[in-house]
Structure 1
Amino acid sequence: MGFFNWIRVEATGYAGGIWLMWNEKDCTVTYISSNEQILHCQIRDKHSSKTFFGSFVYGETNRRKRQTLWQSIKTIAKATEEARILLGDFNAYRAPRDKRGGAKPHITSMSDFNECITDSGLLELEDTGNKFTWERGEIQEKLDWVFGNIAWDIKFPTSRIYYDLKYKSDHKVIVLSLYSQEKQTTSTTAVPLPSRLGSREWF
């Protein structure tokens, strides 16, 4: 993949683990904390010298087990006032429209997810393309999400999300551009966020 630095949260049971990879020429990454469903780090973009916190998620498929993830997100939010981004495969929907085909989404599961995002002071980042990030057969779902806090919006007002083609996975790749040229007139370099490998990749 061309990355030479990494941090990995080992797989546990059916949880596929989280693998964060980056190159030192682009950024520095400082590990802060992790559990089976989330990896929390501080990241410094060397192109702009801006620092932010990144939380990378691989949520459990079981609704009850995801309660640990929701609590972790809230705990990090209370301790982090600086710019922060939260992204990954949450294995959860926010609304019935986030699933097409198959069984109906679980109402309590959606409520738990939305309550966590609201309580953590997070906003969903603008994205482009087909909203469904996972598909198998006739079923399409939005399971991958990207959120930022108010401080993120202030520090990176032109950041933008793209859901790219699938790569060796049934999930689409999440591409985060910190400095989207579509939102501004001055040209800047889009710096890719470090990737998480395993069941899918983030760039």
Structure 2
Amino acid sequence: MNFLSLNVRGLGGDVKARWIQDIKVKYGINFIALQESKCVLGSSMGLRSIWGGNSFGAEWVDSSGLSGGIICLWDPGILDCVDVVKDKNYLIIKGRLKGSGKKINIANVYGPQDYQNKKSLWERLSLEMAGSEGLWCLLGDFNEVRYPEEKRNASFSHRCASLFNDFIFNGGLLEYSMKDRSFTWQSSNGNKLSKIDRVLVCSEFFGLWPDACLRALPKRFSDHCPLILVSKESNFGPKPFRIFDSWIGREGFDEAVRSAASSFVFDGPADLHLLYKFEAIRNSVKKWRNLMIKKEGEKEALVREELEEL
């Protein structure tokens, strides 16, 4: 699964919804965790503009006035939800991953600020984790840091950090190294910085996806950075030009390469000409490959149907 976590500071209008939807599409997100929605939802109808379609699962915890509010959205083709646990500080979606059938628990966390409420939250989450089988992934705005270097120009509470680290250690949780940024929250004047948003996973989750990539994206409509955890391969930039020997000689491959090369037109420096020509050929090969996979999938499905009849 691919996850997106973001403290939205209110759902806002269509522009913010389209921003979240663009992130979802670009990174192939299957699960969206939003904190501080600051709204009361009567139904999931108002969330369609965020997900971008009608086929999605949704659960939420309404805000108390203009404070709090948690929302989870997911792809039902990936996750089969079987139970939901709601709390003012978290929303847990319990289900099974389709295909593998593995049980998974995804907790969308919105942490409080004071010590006693933090202590109570970590205790409640620990009980939930102890009483549920399967993988665990906790993500969201924990409103807490682990070490002094995770804050800049702001006071550090050793007591709160120790409490948080004990919760992580006792729960057997691990954390992926975050790329691109060191902090996830920034004050309005830009002076104060903190890493209070994060993703924590159990050791079994980490063992299944040790190469998963956690990134902090640029913030735009919130003072928090969106966090994305991509547990499967995703395209974060240009890839080397590569083909497989098995493609050579297959129907349509030679034509896809020759057609892209002969039709390419670019007026500019020779190095850019070569770069963009390779890109055009690569895109043409991708289209051919996708079509080939589709055709072979249809053939395989037909053969399987005939086999079932036999």
| TM-score category, normalised to shorter length | 0.7 to 0.9
Structure with the bigger percentage of strand: 1
Matched letter for residue 116 of structure 2: R
3-state secondary structure, aligned to 1:11: coil
Residue equivalent to 1:23: 75
> TM-score normalized by structure 2?
0.54
Greater gyration radius: 2
User: Percent identity over the alignment?
Assistant: 27
Please list, as runs of the form range in 1=range in 2, the aligned pairs for 1:1-203 lying within 5 A after superposition: 1=50, 2=52, 4-12=56-64, 15-46=67-98, 50-102=102-154, 104-136=155-187, 137=189, 138-180=191-233
d(CA) in 1 for partners of 2:227 and 2:194? 15
Matched letter for residue 171 of structure 2: S
Report 1 or 2 for greater relative contact order, CA contacts < 8 Å, sequence distance ≥ 6.
1
Q: How far apart are residue 28 of structure 1 and its match?
A: 2.9
3-state secondary structure, aligned to 1:64: helix
Structure with the bigger percentage of helix: 2
The answer on whether the counterparts of 1:73 and 1:120 sit within 8 Å (CA) in structure 2 is: no
Structure 1 gaps, min length 5: 183-203
> TM-score normalized by structure 1?
0.80
In the TM superposition, what whole-angstrom CA distance separates every residue of 1:154-182 from its partner, at most 9, and x where no partner exists? 22233221111224210011111111459
In the TM superposition, what whole-angstrom CA distance separates every residue of 1:18-47 from its partner, at most 9, and x where no partner exists? 101123344333333121111111244447
Q: How many corresponding residue pairs?
A: 181
Structure 2 gaps, min length 5: 1-49, 236-310
d(CA) in 1 for partners of 2:124 and 2:65? 19
d(CA) in 2 for partners of 1:6 and 1:144? 22
Residue equivalent to 2:42: none
d(CA) in 2 for partners of 1:13 and 1:98? 31
Q: Give runs of ≥4 in structure 1 deviating > 6 Å.
A: none
